[in-house]
Amino acid sequence: MDFRIADTFTDSLGRLTAQEQKAAKTTAFDLQMNPSAPGLSFHKLDRAKDTNFWSVRVNADIRLIVHRTPSSLLLTYVDHHDDAYKWAERRKIERHPATGAMQLVEVRERIEEIEILKPKVIEALAQAAKPKLFDNLRKFELMSFGVPEEWIADVRTADEDSLFDVIKHLPQEAQEALLKLAVGEQPEIPAAVPKAPYQSAAPPAVESAPILFDADAFAHPDAQRRFRLVSTAEELQRALDYPWEKWAVFLHPDQTALVERDYSGPVRVSGSAGTGKTIVALHRAVYLARQNPAAKVLLTTFSHALANALKRKIDQLIGNEPLVAERIVVKSISEVGHDLYARAFGEPSIASADLIRSLLSQAALSADGAKFSPQFLFGEWSEVVDAWNLKSWEAYSQVSRLGRKTRLSGKQREKLWAIFELVRAGLRERGSVTWADVFGSLSERLAEGADRPYDFAVVDEAQDIGIAEARFFSALGGNRPNALFFAGDIGQRIFQQPFSWKSLGIDVRGRSHTLRINYRTSHQIRTHADRLLPSSIADVDGNSESRRGTVSVFNGPTPGVRIFDDARAEQQAVGHWIADRLKEGYQPNEIGVFVRSEDQLVRALQAVKAAGGSAIELTDEVEASAGHIGISTMHFAKGLEFRAVAVMACDEDVLPLQERIETVTDDADLEEVYNTERHLLYVACTRARDQLFVTGIAPASEFLGDFAAR
């Protein structure tokens, strides 16, 4: 007998108390082991429209709702007795006649309300009516996108105000198609599968069309996102241990295709915040490990905190598969570099930024380079000489200096190289190296034929890897099929200057893919945040990432944007906003407060205190914890997620940060400063799922003007 679990079951399980969840899981395991066991108490739901729905007793009050046929058992829902029955009475499981995908359909019950309106009222309503979004589409067209037949009339009457009220009743593929149509995109029509009729276990209560229920319908990609065949107790345990982490069991068809595809060379998956890039990276790492039993897979990202988060998610995904888990290494990129360098060359002594600045200052005095500002020298060293691991005058004289817009004459370069040679000599005398030196040495070692430490590398947040790291991955991959898999969003680049991946041997042209379905961030928050960035962003190699056609699948309140006269007024307002969220049932660790830099953290702390809450500062080493509201700078917001987010201190001299602007020695460099500062605000805003509040003190940041509708 096929045993399946529906995403509606994991959703409902996550809403129960811990004790209720434990009891429900025990019953679910019993059903999987032996659905005919005498201790199981089945009760047929006579009032349900779908005659295959049964309830299974968990305890005196909790009931499982299962869909039962002679050849299959599907866990669909769990709740308290009355609520579980009501849910089942309004649902049916059927194969869609157009797409062939098995769907869990909400039964449409029409309640006709007749109002007697005066002619003037009718005329006013007609004038106020907004255009219908889909009334130009015929029935078969809407059904081709997976819209259930009984919801066609409701869909055709939907306008921009009622759209989300209608689509919340529809299967996911229909939701996504209608949202894309609403924003002017043409969704891809799901591929249909052949029909294979199934005879129900009992005849329908009323005469109707034959029920189509077969394995092919469950195998349809759209069905796979909501129904999953569970073959072992370990698989069921993985699905039930983290019921709120649906990504571990149910994937969107587009995500599945990217995870399981064979690639002839390096691949990059992009998409705006919340589109599931990290989820794809996690599943890709596991897929590679399962498909290649003798291989070692590296899953990495640019920070320790994000690497720790990836490790926790990998444990959730494959915690009960030790043979797979032991072949997936999850580390930050710097940890990877440190460990490999120590193994090959000995423990590295990494030069601090303060040491580099001191060596640059001393070298400038002795090499007649005083006319170059300390800021310019440090930038030229960090972004050109060290980043590209330049060791000779010939190499420096020919480098293109991407990302450095200040032009240099040949004589200026000669003077600069004299300074940088002295810096390198100073580092050698101290036995110190930079991270670029670490990865440069590792890259050279691989190029000389050293054994590869990893067969495959999956890199999350790839937009923030540096030049030296990219060269290392190029040497590691060697253009082997499936060797390199990158996930990232150029619009969230906040740490690195742009550079050419292709010049380093990582060519993703023709293997670059964009995710467009946002499950994490509400429609309102996403559209507000997207106004901070261009609709399309291209990298140095000409690969373009477009935000057009991206849709969020749920609605929410419009983000608040307010400007105050002073810091006290701002803190009190944000405090009231946080207190309102807590009164609505938000847990403290579901709320985050972000500011541009450490200088503004006190404003975030005071706002949390005004709300009567307790704050914890989030860093690479400190993560969100129960009972505390997380506060941090925008840089540490990357990779985090909260139900509600307040972004504070968006003042004119804070965002963009005045200190960064003052270090710019050439007006042309201002563009990069403004770009990364916008990216920072975008990252902070898109950490919010349901609620967003953005504040500042007058005069406020010019970026806040971008939130206005356009």
Q: Is residue 188 part of a domain?
A: no
Judge whether 108 and 154 are in contact, CB under 8 Å: yes
Q: Is residue 438 part of a domain?
A: no
Same domain, 467 and 523: yes
278 is annotated as contributing to ligand binding: yes
Same domain, 516 and 660: no
- Angstrom CA distances, 518 to 71, 247, 360, 514, 635, stand at 36, 13, 46, 12, 22
- Determine the pLDDT at residue 665: 62
Question: How confident is residue 347, by pLDDT bands cut at 50, 70 and 90?
Answer: very high
Return the CATH number at 41: 3.30.2310.20
Cα 267 versus chain centre, distance: 18
SS3 246: helix
Q: Is the dihedral of CA 289, 267, 539, 407 positive or negative?
A: positive
Domain that holds residue 141: 121-182
274 is annotated as contributing to ligand binding: yes
Q: Which residues are registered as beta bridge partners of 64?
A: 56, 78
Q: 709 pLDDT exceeds 60?
A: no
Question: How confident is residue 119, by pLDDT bands cut at 50, 70 and 90?
Answer: low
Same domain, 513 and 602: no
Q: Is residue 111 part of a domain?
A: no
Judge whether 438 and 278 are in contact, CB under 8 Å: no
6 is annotated as contributing to ligand binding: no
Report the 10 Å Cβ neighbour count for 534.
13
Kindly provide the residue ranges of all beta strands, DSSP E only, lying in 488-614, ordered along the sequence: 512-514, 517-518, 536-538, 544-546, 551-552, 560-564, 591-595
Q: Which residues are registered as beta bridge partners of 538?
A: 544
131-145, 477-491, 496-510: segment of lowest average pLDDT: 496-510
Do strands 62-69 and 53-57 pair parallel, antiparallel, or not at all (unpaired)? Answer: antiparallel
318-323: long-range contacts (C-beta < 8 A, 24 or more apart)? 318/238, 318/286, 318/289, 319/238, 319/241, 320/234, 320/237, 320/238, 321/234, 323/293
User: How far is the C-alpha of 76 from the C-alpha of 72, rounded, in Å?
Assistant: 13
For residue 389, what is the DSSP state? T
Same domain, 218 and 357: no
Return the CATH number at 258: 3.40.50.300
| CA R_g for the chain | 29
Judge whether 146 and 195 are in contact, CB under 8 Å: no
User: How far is the C-alpha of 656 from the C-alpha of 650, rounded, in Å?
Assistant: 9
Same domain, 306 and 427: no
pLDDT tens across 556-574, in order?
999 999 999 999 999 999 9
Q: Is residue 518 part of a domain?
A: yes
- Determine the pLDDT at residue 545: 77
Is the peptide bond preceding residue 656 cis, with omega within 30 degrees of 0?
yes
Same domain, 499 and 636: no
352 is annotated as contributing to ligand binding: no
pLDDT tens across 323-346, in order?
999 999 999 999 999 999 999 999
Q: How many domains does the chain have?
A: 5
498, 516, 546 — which closes off a domain? 546
454-463, 467-476, 657-666: segment of lowest average pLDDT: 657-666
pLDDT tens across 224-247, in order?
999 999 988 888 888 888 776 788
Length of the chain: 710
113-122, 385-394, 554-563: segment of lowest average pLDDT: 113-122
Question: How confident is residue 208, by pLDDT bands cut at 50, 70 and 90?
Answer: very low
Taking alpha carbons only, the member of 638, 640, 650 closest to residue 604 is 650
285 is annotated as contributing to ligand binding: no
219 is annotated as contributing to ligand binding: no
Taking alpha carbons only, the member of 57, 90, 54 closest to residue 202 is 54
For residue 331, what is the DSSP state? E
Q: What are phi and psi of 665, to 5 degrees?
A: -100, -10
- Determine the pLDDT at residue 492: 81
| Helix 253-260 with 277-291: angle, nearest 10 deg | 40
- Angstrom CA distances, 166 to 84, 113, 175, 442, stand at 23, 18, 9, 56
Q: 664 pLDDT exceeds 80?
A: no
- Determine the pLDDT at residue 199: 32
User: How far is the C-alpha of 302 from the C-alpha of 57, rounded, in Å?
Assistant: 48
Amino acid (1-letter code) at residue 616? I
Q: What are phi and psi of 364, to 5 degrees?
A: -65, -35
Q: 111 pLDDT exceeds 90?
A: no
Same domain, 337 and 360: no
SS3 457: strand
Same domain, 454 and 312: yes
Q: Is residue 113 part of a domain?
A: no
Structure tokens belonging to residue 425? 């000599």
Q: 471 pLDDT exceeds 80?
A: yes
Q: Is residue 108 part of a domain?
A: no
For residue 466, what is the DSSP state? -
User: How far is the C-alpha of 250 from the C-alpha of 252, rounded, in Å?
Assistant: 7
Mean pLDDT of 26-32: 95
Q: 589 pLDDT exceeds 50?
A: yes
Judge whether 606 and 659 are in contact, CB under 8 Å: no
Cα 500 versus chain centre, distance: 25
For residue 451, what is the DSSP state? P
526, 546, 566 — which closes off a domain? 546
Judge whether 190 and 97 are in contact, CB under 8 Å: no
- Predicted structure pTM score: 0.86
276 is annotated as contributing to ligand binding: yes
Same domain, 375 and 341: no
Instruction: Tokens 């002295």: give the residue.
Output: 422
When the pLDDT of each residue in the chain is averaged and rounded to a whole number, the result is 88
138, 160, 182 — which closes off a domain? 182
- Determine the pLDDT at residue 207: 33
Q: Is residue 439 part of a domain?
A: no
Same domain, 289 and 214: no
| Helix 7-14 with 233-241: angle, nearest 10 deg | 50
Same domain, 83 and 208: yes
558 is annotated as contributing to ligand binding: no
Q: Is residue 167 part of a domain?
A: yes
Same domain, 695 and 573: yes
Q: Measured over all CA atoms, what is the biggest interatomic distance in the chain, rounded to whole angstroms?
A: 95
